[in-house]
Chain A
Amino acid sequence: MSEYVLEMLNISKEYSGNQVLKDVTIRVKPGEIHALLGENGAGKSTLMNILFGMPVISSTGGFGGRVLIDGEESKITSPNDAIHAGIGMVHQEFMLIPGFTVTENIKLNREIGRPNLASRVFGKSMEILDFEAMAKDAEAALRKVGMDIDAYTMVAGLPVGHMQFIEIAREVDKKGIKLLVFDEPTAVLTEQEAATLIKAMKELAASGIAILFITHRLDEVINAADQITILRDGTQVADLAVADATVPKLAELMIGREMDRSELGDPRDLTQEPVVLSVKNLTVDMPGETVKGVNLEVHKGEIFGIGGLAGQGKLGIPNGIMGMYPAEGTVSFEGEAIELNNTKEALHRGLAFVSEDRRGVGLLLEESIEDNIVFSAMQSKGEYLHRFGPFSLKNTGKIRRHAQEMIKLLDIRCTGPGQYTGRLSGGNQQKVCVAKAITLGPKLLFVSEPTRGIDIGAKKLVLDFLSRLNREEGVTVVMVSSELVELKSICDRIAIICEGKVEAIMKPTDSDVDFGLAMSGYQMKEKGGAEGGEN
């Protein structure tokens, strides 16, 4: 028997030339709670995909390094193998069947049956279910995770917190479970529920199960973990015992990257300029990115950054203002209120939006680059058309000339303006999206995750272009990004969104510690510490 239940040694992985994990080593002992900490895109999910043998890994060329389970080379090539090897995963999104009872969900596919005549002839699938035995098991598992609900309750309609615990109980109920992976389990829980969960985790660990705890809530890490591994940009920046860790230290390690403002100079203070965009009490119902009452003011000529961790609601802000998801509240642009949930009006008023969902929202993948670029301007402003009374026809000459100009300006690598956007690389697709937005001639440009999933060269080009657009054309830019470094490198002010609200408005020059704390929502709790004192 090895000292460690899981060892992942020198793991490396690249996706088509893009290094996402580099030489990462994690060792987990039985009964240990091991926290895995990192920003979005730091490589946490890829690491877990490797552990569970997800097909996405092997289909993209496998990985480098070794995975040992109980000291033996792992033979996991599918999630099913992982279950047999005693590794369970508690998902961030619930994988429960709403119309089934708690018991049925917990015992799904591992039902206890009573043999009968039919089952002797036709096999196990004909057995009658032994609900009593199943409920007993389910209740035992639920008790283990500190949960007290009737095992015969229907899952539909239960509070989110309960669902999370059922999900965990299902993993706990599996025989021979050695290692449980918790993927941001507290993200959807209330503070009270989170505390119960942490308690349950500790009890599970005490019973000898090792726990790999993925989270970005720093206080929980300090509270629950024994050992902490921090990833940043695919490299392992720290592996330390909880005794050596403090919240500020973790925050700094998680983010700590150099920012380069050498070309742009220091952030400007434009707060004396008139307010162009004022957002009051904005709520947006965007699944996974709910906004719960945001107040913001953006000044003329600014590059305003909106940051925060995934799922906290930063993406909901531009999507809500542009009418992509149902929104409520007051948004005024240049002093006049904008009708919400009306994309056309927003475009008319001079707002433009580069969506974070390039392929889903940003592009027509089966149309040419040029048709994509002029589409919004044509539809909302009637440009690039020949007019014949009530009839119109697209002005192919003008479209071609404009597209060629944009291709040159943004350095879009393509075979020509007629190439389908679906055939372009991610970076070049993003450039087409940006070209589409600026063809509208906007006064204010929202860009959402402009550099997600694109290579470094294209990243720099897009960011440079945005700052040039701001400096030379006077376009106010609101940039939403999960990459703090990026925000710090071009923004004048940065709002950090946490749990659907503005946590803090910060200067790019503020320290990584402060940013890290704000992103984890730690600041608010510290300032208004009166409410939830028990942490």
Chain B
Amino acid sequence: MEKIKRGLKSFGLPRIIILLFFVFLCVMAIVRDLNFPSLLSNVIARMPMDGVLVLAMVPGILCGIGLNFGVSIGIIAGLLGMTISMEMGATGLVGFAVAILISTVFSSLFGYGYGAALNRMKGSEMTVSTYVGFSVVALMCMGWALLPFKNNNMVYAMGAGLRPTIALDGYYNKILDDFGVFTVGGITIPTGSILFLLGMCFLVWLFLRSKTGIAMRAAGQNPLFAEASGISVNKMRIVGTVLSTVIGGIGIIVYSQSYGFMQLYNAPRMMAFSAIAAVLIGGASANKASISNVLLGVFLFQGILVLGLPVVNDVFQVQNLSEIMRIIITNGIIIYALTRVKGGTSRG
């Protein structure tokens, strides 16, 4: 009994509530005679789709910059990677790989600059990163319209500027989702995407056990401790920021291939928020996170959104209520997590 109590305590009350809510939604879906297997397939498809973006939060949190609201920078790099690879005419797995490669080059560069900037603003990283994220998205709204892309699949028919939504058909639409896909009892399992997410998680897990990874975690947890062992805290924060940005870039590419479209202009603006809400639901805080937080969080968060939408629409015949609920859940979770943040992580 004592053990169960302690287990529940470490699992955390918020997660228990959300888990109960999720179970409640499942029951409601069945009671209301909605197509439960199809809904569940949807949840399972969305897990790896959003999972990598959520994973991008982990290095940021661990290196001490807190919740990386500026992951939109990585998302922009990912979108650049995809548009450039399409412009080059790369398709299929090659196209996907080229997109990731180009994205990584951009996100490393952006991430470095962003990390260096955050080092000058210790203590208020989360506020700064939110606005940096917004500004970069706004700036790129001009970029998308002005960059000299020529591919007819991407630009407006009149010939200048990228379209807001670009279909990936014929390039790498569902390239991961359809790899080894199979169906059991009406539930579709996107094997490739799941493996990709688990692979990424494994790589991050390995990194966190490497010399640099351990130093980075120490720098985030206790900067003075890290300095006393001769570690440059600023450098480690940049490492974490770069990593978070790079994973964010890969995350949007995985997201887009699953979705089938890439979305430019204002679409990336609020993406950081869902990723942050997911990792927080999974049990992370502004200074502590693990791979299991990512996996649990993305499952619960997507589960509630995917199931909640039809259930709510079925129960209350109000238009757009599900969208309202999504916003309430996402931002509510973020507010809850921010109230738990203890002080700044900076030395002063």
B is bound to A: yes
Chain A 280-326 residues near chain B, CB threshold 8 A: 322-324
Stretch at the interface among A15-23, A32-40, A328-336, A376-384: A376-384
Return the contact of A391 from the options B210, B221, B224 (Cβ within 8 A). Answer: B210
CA distance A344 to B212 in the complex (A): 15
> Can you name the residue of chain A whose Cβ is closest to the Cβ of B224?
A361
Q: Is the interface of B mostly helix, strand, loop or mixed?
A: helix
B202 at the interface (CB under 8 A from A): no
Contact partners of B217 in chain A: CB under 8 A: 367
CA distance A362 to B229 in the complex (A): 10
A343 at the interface (CB under 8 A from B): yes
CA distance A100 to B97 in the complex (A): 62
CA distance A355 to B228 in the complex (A): 9
Contact call A393/B210, Cβ cutoff below 8 A: yes
Q: What is the distance, in angstroms, from A146's C-beta to the closest C-beta of chain B? A: 36
Return the contact of B211 from the options A322, A346, A379 (Cβ within 8 A). Answer: A379
Question: How many pairs of residues, A versus B, come closer than 8 Å at their CB atoms?
Answer: 74
A353 at the interface (CB under 8 A from B): yes
Chain A 347-385 residues near chain B, CB threshold 8 A: 347-348, 353, 355, 357, 360-367, 371, 375-376, 378-380, 382, 385
Given that A343-B229, A344-B230, A375-B229 are known contacts, is A394 also in contact with B209, CB under 8 Å in the complex? yes
Contact call B221/A324, Cβ cutoff below 8 A: no
Q: What is the distance, in angstroms, from B305's C-beta to the closest C-beta of chain A? A: 31
> Can you name the residue of chain A whose Cβ is closest to the Cβ of B210?
A392
Q: What is the distance, in angstroms, from A499's C-beta to the closest C-beta of chain B? A: 26
Contact partners of B206 in chain A: CB under 8 A: 393
B323 at the interface (CB under 8 A from A): no
Contact partners of A378 in chain B: CB under 8 A: 211, 214
B288 at the interface (CB under 8 A from A): yes
B242 at the interface (CB under 8 A from A): no
Return the contact of A347 from the options B210, B222, B224, B230 (Cβ within 8 A). Answer: B230
Contact call B230/A366, Cβ cutoff below 8 A: no
Contact partners of A361 in chain B: CB under 8 A: 222, 224-225, 228
Contact partners of B230 in chain A: CB under 8 A: 323, 342-348, 376, 379-380
Q: What is the distance, in angstroms, from B311's C-beta to the closest C-beta of chain A? A: 39
Contact call B227/A324, Cβ cutoff below 8 A: yes
> Can you name the residue of chain B whose Cβ is closest to the Cβ of A391?
B210
CA distance A334 to B217 in the complex (A): 34
B215 at the interface (CB under 8 A from A): yes
A residues whose Cβ falls under 8 Å from a Cβ of B: 322-324, 342-348, 353, 355, 357, 360-367, 371, 375-376, 378-380, 382, 385, 391-394
- List 18 other contacts, CB 8 Å, given A323-B230, A379-B215: A324-B224, A324-B227, A347-B229, A347-B230, A360-B224, A361-B222, A363-B225, A366-B221, A366-B288, A375-B214, A375-B229, A376-B229, A379-B214, A379-B229, A380-B229, A385-B210, A392-B212, A393-B206
Q: Which 9 pairs show the lowest CB-CB distances between chains A and B?
A: A344-B230, A343-B230, A376-B229, A392-B211, A361-B224, A379-B229, A392-B210, A347-B230, A380-B230
